[in-house]
Structure 1
Amino acid sequence: MAPPNNRRPGFSKRAQYSIFASYLLGILGAVLGLLLLLVSFIDPRGFSALRTIGAEAIAPVSKTLSEFGSLTGNAGDQISAYFNAASKNADMQQELEQNRIEILEARALRQENDRLKRLLKLDEEIPDSIAMARLISSTASSARRIATLGVGSSSGLEPGQPVRSPEGLVGRILETGPTTARVLLVSDSKNVTPVQRASDSLPAFATGRGDGTVDIQPINIGTNPFKGGDLLITSGSGGLYSPGIPVAVVIRKTETGAIGRVLANPAKVSHAIVQPIFQAETVRQIEENPVDDLEEETGE
């Protein structure tokens, strides 16, 4: 027959000894606590010494437990950082991309401000300027090189008036509407600009090539004095453009002249100034009594 499950401790000496030891330890602990309490009241200095001794005794254990807790805490942080690394990396990549976009926008705004400052300074230097406006568009693949200006006849624009930017000559007004105007660019193949070399006033003609460059031909046929880096400016001949406006810089020589790069690239020019015709009376006389077709009106 199996023994009952609810046996009392009296049937087991081991259980009796365990209960007796626990009672004994409890009584000893209570007595020890009482003694320490009495010592703290009777002799505080002696109690302080006992407390110091106790702290020194358990210091190694406390230190070991503290280091163990620190290690487990660091390990937990490292595990958490490992699992969060992917999301943090994605956030950092997104933030980096946003910062890169903002930097590019800031650079673009700074360049735009620099261009506007140069244009305003140019407008102050040219008191007889008619209007200042934005270049709305320009042809890039068409056979003709024509740009659209954001002002028209309502602002006093007329065909033939020069258009320039801080970089140099853009072209001349070809047609006008009430609020827009078409500009025949210097690089158009039908546009011939009287120029001269800035260093020694050597006269020449700059004819557009339709690709952002001009063909430079000296007036004195048979001579080719041009070299790379020569700056060509308007000469004032013909009475259309005032002298001294930068037009192009020579990039290479040819058998009969040179090829020049137009300084005022319409793709990079945001704003332009419209000037009056340099010598309107002279231009009117040439139109009424044409001698050659170098400056005759171009159309599509």
Structure 2
Amino acid sequence: MQTIFTRGPSLNNRLSLALVMSIALIIVDHKFDGFSTTRGYLNSLMSPLQYVANLPGEMLNWSAERVTSQQQLIAENEYLNNQLLLANEQLQRFQLLKNENDQLRALLAAPLRQEMRKTVAELMAVDNNPFSHQIVINKGNSDDVYVSQSVLDDKGVVGQVIEVGSTTSRVLLITDVTHAIPVRSQRNSIRFIVTGSGTLDEVYLEHVAHSVDIKVGDILVTSGLGNVFPEGYPVAQVTSVVRDESRPFASISAQPLAKLDRLKHLMLLWPEAEAETTEGSDDSTAITVRRDND
């Protein structure tokens, strides 16, 4: 019986033939540049595959750059917010200093008030009790926070610390019904007591006689009485004055200047503290000081 297919050359012969042809093609290409056109076509054909092969690496590099840029923007934004808060706190004191300079006269020789220690804190939680206006901040005993310490934002007084933990503290807002703060009118220095109303956008002035000179638009600042809040920080602006002679006192309401419904960054103050600069420090969230030991 004869097979249908005849047997071809052996494997060794095939290998030898392939090597001879390969060497011949290499010599022809090297000496006569006979395959330059063919190589150009092959390179054009392989270019899309090379782009596809490089695509995963390019995507990883792009993603890494985006993540790095976002982290840098977040860090820069936090730094700028802290700088703005510190600058606004100082700006709040400029008007007070101007008014005091006009009234000092004979007291010009008295020593200037010492600079305060200031630290920036962040809001951590808001009390969910609708009848209590309290918040929690991320500073505590480890940051030298103490009970009755003043808390501000970039617009005015927020409240005071009522509880201190190791790393957190609880703050009572000025709008809480249990809170009261002594103030004075920036226009004529008449003193009042501001109490919370239970709503974040309103406070009351208690026991104000009908004859007292107070007008809508007057700015109320801390008076410094009670040794809780330093003097001169904005508290509220008068929004309503109702003098009903059938009542023993005028009905006066004001709007807090602090943005109590959108708090994020807050300022803690240490009054009567001596500031000291920290060499080589770039931390803008706190100003390190040495407190008086007298």
Calculate the TM-score normalised by the size of structure 2: 0.52
| Alpha-carbon displacement from aligned partner over 1:186-245 (angstroms, at most 9, x marks no partner) | 1111111000111111110100001021101366x3434322211100011111111110
Of 194, 203, 209, which aligns to 1:214?
A: 203
Given residue 215 of structure 1, which amino acid in structure 2 is its aligned partner?
Answer: Y
Q: Does 1:252 align with 2:232?
A: no
Quote the Cα distance in structure 1 between the aligned partners of 2:127 and 2:163.
15
2:218 counterpart (224, 227, 230): 230
* Aligned match of 1:179: 167
Report Cα offsets for 1:13-49 as digits up to 9, x if no partner.
Answer: xxxxxxxxxxxxxxxxxxxxxxxxxxxxxxxxxxxxx
Q: RMSD of the alignment, in Å?
A: 2.9
Letter in 2 for 1:269: L
Alignment-derived partner of residue 121 in structure 1: 87
Question: Which residues of structure 2 form unaligned runs of 5+?
Answer: 1-74, 92-113, 244-249, 274-294
Among 265, 278, 283, which residue is 1:271 paired with? 265
Give the whole-Å Cα distance in 1 for the aligned partners of 2:145 and 2:152: 14
Structure 2 partner of 1:262: 256
In the alignment, structure 1 segments of 5+ residues that lack a partner are: 1-108, 280-300
Q: In the alignment, what sits opposite 2:287?
A: none
Distance in 2 between the 1:123 and 1:263 partners? 13
Contact 2:121 2:139 in 1 (8 A): yes
Judge which range, 117-126 or 208-217, deviates more: 117-126
Matches of 1:188 and 1:278 in 2, distance apart? 27
Q: 1:124 to 1:252 in 2, by over 3 A?
A: closer
CA contact (8 A) 1:185 1:191 kept: yes
Structure whose residues are more often strand by fraction: 2
Percent identity over the alignment is 26
What is the number of residues matched between the two proteins?
171
State how far apart, in whole Å, the 1-side matches of 2:128 and 2:115 are. 32
The answer to whether the 8 A contact 1:239-1:278 is kept is: no
Work out the CA distance in 2 between the residues paired with 1:155 and 1:236. Answer: 24
| 2:179 corresponds to | 191
Which structure shows the bigger proportion of residues in helix conformation? 1
Cα deviation, residue 141, structure 1? 5.6
Distance 1:260 1:111 in 2: 33
1:97-112 residue pairs with structure 2 within 5 A? none
SS of match in other structure, 1:121: helix
